[in-house]
Structure 1
Amino acid sequence: MNINRTLSVAALALLIASGSVNAQVKRKPTPSPRNKPTAAAVAPPNVLPVDKDVIIGKLPNGLTYYIRHNEQPQKRAELYLVNKAGSVLETDAQQGLAHFTEHMAFNGTRDFPKNALVNYLQKSGVKFGADLNAYTSFDETVYQLPLPTDSATVFENGFKILANWAGYVSFDQAEIEKERGVVLEEARLRGKNAQERLSLQTLPVLLNNSRYATRLPIGQETVLKNFDAATIKSFYSDWYRPDLQAVIVVGDFDVKRVEALIKANFSGLKNPAVKKPRPDYNVAPTPGTVVKVVTDKEFPYTLAQIIVKHPHNVIRTTTGYMQSMRISLFNYMLNQRLGELQQKPEPPFLYARTSYAPLIGKQDAFSSIVVSKPDGLETAVKAAVAETERARKFGFTLTELERAKQQALVGIQNAFYERNKTNSVNYVREYTQNFLTGEAMPGIDFEYNFYVSNISKISLAEMNALAGQFISDQNRVIIVEGPDKDKDKLPNEKTILNWISTAGNGITAYVDNVTSKPLMEKEPQGSKIVSEVKDDAIGITTLTFENGLKAILKPTEFKNDQILINGSSFGGTSLASDADYTSASFAGSIVGSSGISEFNQGQLDKMLAGKDVNVSPYISELTQGIRGSSSPRDFITALQLIYLYFTQPRMDADIWKGTMLQTKALLANRGLDPQSVFQDTLSAVLSNNNFRFGATTLDRLNTADQDKSFKFYKDRFADASGFTFVVVGNFNVELIKPFLATYLGGLPSTNKKETFRNLKMYPAPGQITKTVYKGIDDKASVQMIYSGPYVFNEANNMQLDALEEILNIKLVERLREQESGIYAPGIRASYTKNPEGRYTVTIAFTCAAANVDKLVAATLDEISKIKQTGALPADIEKFAAEEARSTQVQLKQNVSWAGYLAGAVQNDQNPDDILSHVKNLENVTVQSTKETANKYLNNANLAKVILMPEKK
Structure 2
Amino acid sequence: MNLNKYVPLALLALTLSAGSAFAQVKKKPVPSPKNKPGTIGIAPKSDVLPVDQNVIIGKLPNGLTYYIRANAEPAKRAELYLVNKAGSVLENDDQQGLAHFTEHMAFNGTRDFPKNQMVDYLQKSGVKFGADLNAYTSFNETVYQLPLPTDTVAVFEKGFNILANWAGYVSFDPAEIDKERGVVLEEERLRGKNAQERMQQQTLPTLLNNSRYALRLPIGKEDILKNFKPETIKAFYQDWYRPDLQAVIAVGDFDPKRVEALIKQNFSPLKNPAAEKPRTKYTVPATPGTAVKIVTDPEYPYTIAQIVVRHPGTVTKTTGDYMQQVRVQLFNQMLNARLNELLQKPNPPFLYGRTSYGNFIGDQDAYTSLVVAKPGELEKAVKAVVAESERARKFGFTLTELERAKQDALVGIGNAYREKDKTPSVRFVREYQANFLTGEAIPGIDFEYNFYIGNIYKVSLADMNAMAGKFISDQNRAVILQAPDKDKASLPDEKTLLNWITTGGQNVTAYVDNVSSDPLLDKIPEGSKTMKQDTDENLGTTTLTLANGVKAILKPTEYRNDQILISGYAFGGTSLASDDEFTSANLAAPIIAGSGIAQFNQGMLDKKLAGKDLNVSPYIGESVQGISANASPADFETAMQLIYLYFTQPRKDQDIWDANMEQTRAVLANRGLDPGSVYQDTVSAVLNNYNFRAMVTTLPRLNAATLDKAYSFYKKRFGDASGFTFTFVGNFTVDAIKPYIEHYLGGLPSTNSKETYKNLNIQPPPGIITKTVNKGVGEKSTVQMVFSGDFDYAEANNIQIDALEEVLNIKLIERLREQESGVYAPGVRASYHKIPSSRYTFTISFGCAPENVDKLVAATMDEIGKIKLNGALPADIQKFVAEEARGTQQQLKQNAFWAGYLASSAQNGENPDQILSHVSNLEQITPQSTKDAANKYLSGKNLIKLILMPEKK
Q: TM-score normalised to the size of structure 1?
A: 0.96
Q: What residue number does 1:476 align with?
A: 477
Contact 2:395/2:510 (CA < 8 Å) preserved in 1? yes
The one-letter code sitting in structure 1 at the alignment partner of 2:160 is F
Aligned pairs for 1:678-827 within 5 A: 678-827=679-828
1:85-111 deviations in whole A, cap 9, x for unaligned? Answer: 000000000000000000000000000
Q: What residue number does 2:444 align with?
A: 443
Deviation at 1:45, TM superposition (A): 6.3
Q: Distance in 1 between matches of 2:530 and 2:117?
A: 59
Q: What residue number does 1:832 align with?
A: 833
The one-letter code sitting in structure 2 at the alignment partner of 1:366 is Y
The one-letter code sitting in structure 2 at the alignment partner of 1:175 is E
Deviation at 1:6, TM superposition (A): 1.8
Q: What residue number does 2:15 align with?
A: none
Q: Distance in 1 between matches of 2:90 and 2:660?
A: 47
Contact 1:615/1:629 (CA < 8 Å) preserved in 2? yes
Contact 2:350/2:381 (CA < 8 Å) preserved in 1? yes
Q: What residue number does 2:285 align with?
A: 284
The one-letter code sitting in structure 2 at the alignment partner of 1:163 is A
The one-letter code sitting in structure 2 at the alignment partner of 1:731 is F
The one-letter code sitting in structure 1 at the alignment partner of 2:743 is T
Deviation at 1:4, TM superposition (A): 8.3
Q: What residue number does 1:39 align with?
A: none
Contact 1:515/1:607 (CA < 8 Å) preserved in 2? yes
Q: Does 1:624 align with 2:612?
A: no
The one-letter code sitting in structure 2 at the alignment partner of 1:282 is T
Deviation at 1:202, TM superposition (A): 0.4
Q: Distance in 2 between matches of 1:163 and 1:576?
A: 60
The one-letter code sitting in structure 1 at the alignment partner of 2:945 is K
Deviation at 1:859, TM superposition (A): 0.3
Q: What residue number does 1:584 align with?
A: 585
Q: Distance in 2 between matches of 1:314 and 1:259?
A: 28
Q: What residue number does 1:183 align with?
A: 184
Q: What residue number does 1:15 align with?
A: none
Q: What residue number does 2:855 align with?
A: 854
Contact 2:3/2:200 (CA < 8 Å) preserved in 1? no
Q: Distance in 2 between matches of 1:345 and 1:317?
A: 46
Q: Does 1:324 align with 2:325?
A: yes
The one-letter code sitting in structure 2 at the alignment partner of 1:322 is M
Q: What residue number does 1:467 align with?
A: 468
Contact 2:77/2:252 (CA < 8 Å) preserved in 1? yes
Q: Distance in 2 between matches of 1:490 and 1:303?
A: 11
1:758-786 deviations in whole A, cap 9, x for unaligned? Answer: 11111111001100000000000000000
1:620-656 deviations in whole A, cap 9, x for unaligned? Answer: 1111000000000000000000000000001210000
Aligned pairs for 1:19-418 within 5 A: 46-418=47-419
Q: Does 1:6 align with 2:6?
A: yes
Deviation at 1:941, TM superposition (A): 1.1
Q: Distance in 2 between matches of 1:878 and 1:850?
A: 33
The one-letter code sitting in structure 1 at the alignment partner of 2:608 is M
Q: What residue number does 2:907 align with?
A: 906
Q: What residue number does 1:922 align with?
A: 923
Contact 1:309/1:365 (CA < 8 Å) preserved in 2? yes
Contact 2:574/2:586 (CA < 8 Å) preserved in 1? yes
1:124-183 deviations in whole A, cap 9, x for unaligned? Answer: 000000000000000000000000000000000000000000000000011000000000
Bigger drift between 859-868 and 499-508 goes to 499-508
Deviation at 1:3, TM superposition (A): 12
Contact 2:4/2:200 (CA < 8 Å) preserved in 1? no
Deviation at 1:5, TM superposition (A): 3.2
Contact 1:3/1:351 (CA < 8 Å) preserved in 2? no
Contact 2:315/2:438 (CA < 8 Å) preserved in 1? no
The one-letter code sitting in structure 1 at the alignment partner of 2:374 is K
Q: Distance in 2 between matches of 1:669 and 1:938?
A: 39
Deviation at 1:938, TM superposition (A): 1.6
Q: What residue number does 1:889 align with?
A: 890
Q: What residue number does 2:647 align with?
A: 646
1:166-211 deviations in whole A, cap 9, x for unaligned? Answer: 0000000110000000000000001111011111100110000000
Deviation at 1:7, TM superposition (A): 5.2
Deviation at 1:255, TM superposition (A): 0.7
1:551-605 deviations in whole A, cap 9, x for unaligned? Answer: 0000100000011000001100010001110010100000000000000000000
Deviation at 1:315, TM superposition (A): 1.2
Q: Distance in 1 between matches of 2:669 and 2:418?
A: 47
Aligned pairs for 1:604-683 within 5 A: 604-683=605-684
Q: Distance in 1 between matches of 2:836 and 2:363?
A: 55
The one-letter code sitting in structure 2 at the alignment partner of 1:775 is G
SS, match of residue 5 in structure 1:
coil
1:249-275 deviations in whole A, cap 9, x for unaligned? Answer: 000001100000000000000000111
The one-letter code sitting in structure 1 at the alignment partner of 2:343 is Q
The one-letter code sitting in structure 1 at the alignment partner of 2:540 is G
Deviation at 1:931, TM superposition (A): 0.1
Q: What residue number does 2:28 align with?
A: none
Q: Distance in 2 between matches of 1:951 and 1:462?
A: 60
Return closer, same or farther for 1:268/1:216 CA change in 2, 3 Å cut-off.
Answer: same
4+ runs deviating over 6 angstroms: none
Contact 1:329/1:404 (CA < 8 Å) preserved in 2? yes
Q: What residue number does 1:11 align with?
A: none
Deviation at 1:317, TM superposition (A): 0.4
Deviation at 1:930, TM superposition (A): 0.1
Contact 1:7/1:369 (CA < 8 Å) preserved in 2? no
Return closer, same or farther for 1:133/1:946 CA change in 2, 3 Å cut-off.
Answer: same
1:900-945 deviations in whole A, cap 9, x for unaligned? Answer: 1111011111110100000000000000000000000021210001
Q: Distance in 2 between matches of 1:831 and 1:510?
A: 52
Q: What residue number does 1:27 align with?
A: none
Deviation at 1:313, TM superposition (A): 1.4
SS, match of residue 126 in structure 2:
coil
The one-letter code sitting in structure 2 at the alignment partner of 1:500 is I
Return closer, same or farther for 1:894/1:935 CA change in 2, 3 Å cut-off.
Answer: same
The one-letter code sitting in structure 1 at the alignment partner of 2:383 is K
Q: Distance in 1 between matches of 2:140 and 2:550?
A: 56
SS, match of residue 815 in structure 1:
helix
SS, match of residue 279 in structure 2:
coil
Q: Distance in 2 between matches of 1:792 and 1:534?
A: 26
The one-letter code sitting in structure 1 at the alignment partner of 2:643 is I
Contact 2:148/2:159 (CA < 8 Å) preserved in 1? yes
Structure 2 gaps, min length 5: 9-44
The one-letter code sitting in structure 2 at the alignment partner of 1:225 is K
Q: Distance in 1 between matches of 2:389 and 2:205?
A: 27
Between the aligned residues of both structures, percent identity stands at: 71
1:510-530 deviations in whole A, cap 9, x for unaligned? Answer: 000001111111000100000
The one-letter code sitting in structure 1 at the alignment partner of 2:610 is A
Return closer, same or farther for 1:558/1:4 CA change in 2, 3 Å cut-off.
Answer: farther
Q: What residue number does 2:421 align with?
A: 420
Contact 2:134/2:145 (CA < 8 Å) preserved in 1? yes
Contact 2:46/2:319 (CA < 8 Å) preserved in 1? no
Q: Distance in 1 between matches of 2:927 and 2:939?
A: 19
SS, match of residue 106 in structure 1:
coil
Deviation at 1:686, TM superposition (A): 1.0
Figure out how many residues of one structure are paired with residues of the other and give that number.
Answer: 916
Q: Distance in 1 between matches of 2:561 and 2:201?
A: 46
The one-letter code sitting in structure 1 at the alignment partner of 2:769 is I
Return closer, same or farther for 1:109/1:78 CA change in 2, 3 Å cut-off.
Answer: same
Q: TM-score normalised to the size of structure 2?
A: 0.96
